Amino acid sequence: MAKAQIVSLWLCLLLGSLFDLRTGAIPPLAKVKTIEFFPVGLSETATATYGSHNQKMVVTRYGIFFAYVDQVQSGMSRWRLMRTRDEGSTFTEVWTGTSTGGAPVLDTDGENLFLLVPSDRYPDATFMRFNAAGQQAPVTTTISGGGDGHYNLLYDRDRRQLLLTASVFAFVIDSHGKLMHKTQLFSYPASSQMEEIAHYPLLAQDRASIALAYTTTPYPGWTGPDGRQDNCYPSFGLLHTSDGGWSWTNPQTGTMLQTPIDASQTGPSYHPLERSLTKMTPEHCMANWLSGFLYKDTRILMALYSYDKSPQHGATVPIPSAFRLLRYDMKVRQMEISRNDTELKAGELAVNSSQIFLSSGSHRSEPIFLISGQAVPGGVRMVVLVSHDLGETWRDYAASEIVPNGYADSFYGLSGIRRIAADSPLYGTFTLVAGAGPIRQVFFFRVK
C-alpha cells in the first residue's frame, strides 16, 4: 500500500472523513513549499507530544530522533523514543520507558543523544545519554527532584554541559548525567490566596548567553463568575544567565537575582506583557501561554496567541484575542517589537493558533522559521512563515493540505528543532486533535 494511501486510511478512521492529508482534493497553495505528514502511531492521550514549549526532536548524522507518549494508565505514561533514517518513511523504536509526566525532552551534541524524562518515582527525573550510532548501551542517572510536570533541557554547546529547568528548580548537569549545580529559582506560594506560580519553562541560547521564560498560573486556581474552574495563564516572565545556569539576572535591568524569587508580576523577574492584559481578576481568565521562544543575535523573540477564556464563564466584556509577537534586544535592554494583531499575517498565510514553534540556524544571517496552525474555512492547515530580519517582516514559506473538521490548535504539542543546519529541511512532530473519540494520532512532518 502506498504511503499516501496509508495516511488516507489513518485519517478516515480518525476523522471519519474521506480525505487524504498529503494528496487531498483541496489543492495546495501556489509558490510555497509543501508540508508532508507521516503517521507514527496511535496514542491514548491528546498530550502525546506535549508540548510546543520544549524540544522533542533532534537531528544527527545517524538519523532523526523524537519521542512521544502512546499509553496512559493509573497516572503513568509509557513513552517511546523513535528514529527515522529516511525522513519519515519508516520508524523504529530505540527505547521505551514509563514516566509520571509526559514524553522525554531531547538534545544532542551531534554524536550523543541526551534524554530527560520524569521517572516513575516522583519527583525524580531520569537522564539518559545514548550513543546516536547505537554502538553502546545508554548511560542512565537519576536527577533528584528533577521530575516536575513541566520541564525543559538544553545542551550548552559553549560549556559542553546541560541545563535542565523545571517549574521550581534549575539543574546544571555534565554530559554524563552528573549533577553539578542545583538552584531553587522560584519560591513556593506563601498563602492560600490566589497567587502566580511558574510553569512551562522554555530555554533558548545565543552563544554563551541563555534565556529562560516561564508562564504563570494562578494558585490555588481561578474560579469564574459561574462557579466553574478553568486553567488560566495570566503572564510570563523572563530570566537570563551568562554562566550556564549558576546565577540568574533580570534581563531588563541586569540585576542579579537572589533566588528563590517570587514568580509573579510583582516579583523581580521581567514580565514583558502590558498589565492590562495580565491582571488576575475574578472576571477575567487570560490565556497568555508563551509558546514560541528563540534567542538569536542578542534578540529574544516571543510568540503567543493571547485570548480571554472568561466569556464561557459568563463574562460579557471579554478582552480581545490577539497574536502577540515581541522582540527584546538584550544588548540595549529594550523592547524593539511588540505586535498586537488579530493574526500574524504574511502573504496568503497567517497564524491564529497558540501552538507555535520557532526555529533558526546558529549563524546570524540564517532566517527564522515560525511553525504553527491557521484555522481556515472547512478546517485547519499547518503553515510555516519565514523572516529574514529577525521577526520584523514575515513571508509565506510552506503549507499543508487542509485538515477537515480541525481547529486552530489541532496540531497539538507541536515540536521541532531549535537549531537547524543551514539548508536543512524542517522536521517536527504533533498530535492531531480533530474529530471525536479518545484515540489520537501522532504525526511526523517535514518541509522540503
d(CA 295, CA 180): 25
Of residues 260 and 3, which shows the higher confidence score? Answer: 260
Q: pLDDT exceeding 90 applies to what percent of the chain?
A: 75
Question: Domain residues of the chain, as ranges?
Answer: 1-23+31-43+362-387+396-448, 46-361
Average pLDDT of the residues in 35-46? 95
Q: pLDDT by residue (tens digit) across 253-280? A: 999 999 999 999 999 999 999 988 898 8
- CATH fold of the domain at 46-361: Neuraminidase (2.120.10)
Name the maximum alpha-carbon separation found in the chain.
Answer: 62
Rounded to whole angstroms, the Cα distance separating 360 from 369 reads 6
Residues β-bridged to residue 70: none
Q: What's the whole-number average pLDDT of the chain?
A: 90
Q: Confidence band (pLDDT; 50, 70, 90) for 317?
A: confident
Give the pLDDT band of residue 235 (cuts 50, 70, 90). very high
Strand 395-399 with 379-387, pairing: antiparallel
> 252 — alpha (psi -120 to 50), left (phi > 0) or beta?
alpha
Residues 6+ apart with CB under 8 A from 6: 39
Distance of CA 118 to the CA centre of its chain: 17
Does the pLDDT at position 371 exceed 70? yes
Neighbours of 389 (CB within 10 A): 9
Question: Cα–Cα distances in Å, from 103 out to 10, 74, 98, 254?
Answer: 23, 16, 9, 35
| Residue 28: predicted pLDDT | 57
For the cut 80, the answer to whether the pLDDT of residue 309 exceeds it is: yes
Q: Which amino acid is at 17?
A: S
Dist CA 406 CA 209 (whole Å): 39
Contact predicate 350/369, CB 8 Å: no
Quote the CA–CA distance of 386 and 322 in Å, as a whole number. 20
Under the banding of pLDDT at 50, 70 and 90, the label for residue 436 is low
Question: What's the CA gap between 12 and 20, in Å, rounded?
Answer: 8
> Where does the pLDDT of residue 53 fall: very low under 50, low under 70, confident under 90, or very high at 90 and above?
low
Q: Which three cell numbers stand for residue 366?
A: 540564517
pLDDT digits (tens, 9 = 90+) for 87-107: 999 999 999 999 998 999 999
Residues 6+ apart with CB under 8 A from 136: none
**Average pLDDT value for residue range 152-177:** 96
What pLDDT shows up at residue 280? Answer: 80
Please provide the size of the chain in residues: 448
Kindly tell me if the per-residue pLDDT of 171 is higher than 50.
yes
What tens digit of pLDDT does each residue of 209-225 get? 999 999 999 988 888 88
Answer yes or no: are the C-beta atoms of 156 and 177 closer than 8 Å: no
Sign of CA dihedral 388, 324, 433, 293: positive
